[in-house]
Chain A
Amino acid sequence: NAGVMQNPRHLVRRRGQEARLRCSPMKGHSHVYWYRQLPEEGLKFMVYLQKENIIDESGMPKERFSAEFPKEGPSILRIQQVVRGDSAAYFCASSPGQGQAEKLFFGSGTQLSVL
């Protein structure tokens, strides 16, 4: 029973390139959340998705950032034209669904470094 799988673990990009972060939720989980974490700071909510739907993207910058969770395949967080300030750890979490959304299971994260 694999947990939440994120890849890659480490991603290095130069300024202006695109970053794609992948997340496969736990088996049976249909809700995916993306968080960003900077050193000495808590987890900052970015976006909440269910299969093929974005439920809440209030924490995601309106420019350069997008997320999807297709019917088949992993959830993708996409950052276009990365800047140094995008360097952070990005965590994906999944939950079983309604009534269980407070119990999040996290992946090991993707550490994005922008040169």
Chain B
Amino acid sequence: QKEVEQDPGPLSVPEGAIVSLNCTYSNSAFQYFMWYRQYSRKGPELLMYTYSSGNKEDGRFTAQVDKSSKYISLFIRDSQPSDSATYLCAMKDNNDMRFGAGTRLTVKP
């Protein structure tokens, strides 16, 4: 079993749809939870950062962490074609950071 599980997709949605991306993990020591967005042929860029459980909202993006279920989510409201990218979840304990495999998202106009 991988430490971080993420459905690779691909996921295709129409413009304006609500997108839900998820990851599960097995290491209960993870405390920091991140979502990175990676455009084709580019490096990942930090999109959302959450410490411990709870929700965090930033514009059209909402990150949720449920440590009891070891489950994290990223919601994108009013999705745009420019949101088309690969989204990687990442999580960290005091030492190690682990990334999910990434979910490839396409938002069609």
Contacts and interface: CB of A to CB of B under 8 A. Distances in A.
Same assembly: yes
Interface in A58-115: 91, 93, 101-109
A4 B36 CA distance: 16
B43 A4 contact: yes
B71 interface: no
Contacts of B85: none
Contacts, number: 51
A56 B93 CA distance: 15
B32 A102 contact: yes
Contact of A40 (B96, B99, B101): B101
B102 A42 contact: yes
B32 A91 contact: no
Interface residues of B, number: 24
Contacts of B8: 40
A58 to B, nearest CB: 8
Contact of A108 (B36, B42, B90, B99): B42
Given A41-B101, A42-B101, A104 B88 contact: no
Interface of B: 4, 6, 8, 32, 34, 36, 41-46, 49, 88, 90, 92, 95-102
A107 B100 CA distance: 19
B45 A102 contact: no
Contacts of A93: 43
A103 B32 CA distance: 10
